[in-house]
């Protein structure tokens, strides 16, 4: 299976090795090695807004997090389901990142099994938050994901759409 052609990173325009690739297992391991992500959503009134969320990552690359229904992100996502997340990199000297874009969906009571089996393994304290008024869980199913590794020269940058992400071996 051919992966999409890596793209430049804006710092230099050196070509990427033709064999640049990342495996499903390696990508999941990288994502799961991080407990937090920066998420961005859009307020109709004021524009982009960002915040840090605790995340858990499913085998299909879905990302689950919790928030209060009164938070800016929850209000934004109630009006516009589009969301972006950045995992790794920024601020901690790490030279690998994943950026992803997708749609956020609120998990209803029928989906609580997803929360219990995935999110609570990463954040056991999330069980206590179930008693909070207005707590909600959101799942993001990525439709675009970019993995960047700046430890290599040239950097490895691979973009995957939803179909390629699903077929990743």
Q: Is residue 33 part of a domain?
A: yes
Q: Is residue 36 part of a domain?
A: yes
Q: Is residue 63 part of a domain?
A: yes
pLDDT in tens, 120-169: 999 999 989 989 999 999 999 999 999 999 888 899 999 999 999 999 98
* pTM, full prediction: 0.85
Alpha-carbon torsion (127, 143, 77, 46), positive or negative:
positive
CATH of the domain at 72: 2.30.110.10
Q: Is residue 1 part of a domain?
A: no
Q: Is residue 128 part of a domain?
A: yes
The half-sphere exposure of 82 on its side-chain side, counting CA atoms within 13 A, is: 8
Q: Which domain holds residue 54?
A: 24-167
Rg of the chain taking only CA atoms, in angstroms: 17
Q: How many domains does the chain have?
A: 1
CB-count burial class (<10 Å; 0-12, 13-18, 19+) for 2: exposed
Q: Is residue 67 part of a domain?
A: yes
């Amino acid at each position: 299976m051919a992966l999409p052609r890596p793209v430049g990173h804006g710092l230099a325009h050196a070509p990427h090795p033709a064999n640049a690739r990342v495996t499903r297992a390696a990508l999941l391991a990288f994502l799961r090695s991080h407990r937090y992500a920066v998420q961005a959503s859009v307020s109709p009134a004021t524009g982009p807004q960002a915040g840090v969320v605790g995340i858990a990552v499913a085998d299909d690359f879905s990302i689950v997090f919790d928030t209060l229904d009164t938070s800016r992100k929850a209000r934004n996502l109630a009006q516009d389901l589009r969301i972006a997340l950045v995992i790794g990199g920024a601020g901690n000297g790490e030279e690998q990142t994943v950026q992803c874009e997708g749609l956020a969906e609120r998990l209803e009571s029928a989906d609580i099994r997803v929360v219990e089996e995935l999110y609570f393994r990463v954040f056991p304290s999330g069980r206590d938050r179930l008693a909070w008024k207005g707590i909600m869980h959101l799942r993001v199913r990525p439709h675009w994901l970019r993995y960047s590794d700046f430890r290599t020269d040239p950097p490895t940058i691979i973009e995957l759409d939803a179909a390629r992400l699903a077929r990743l071996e």
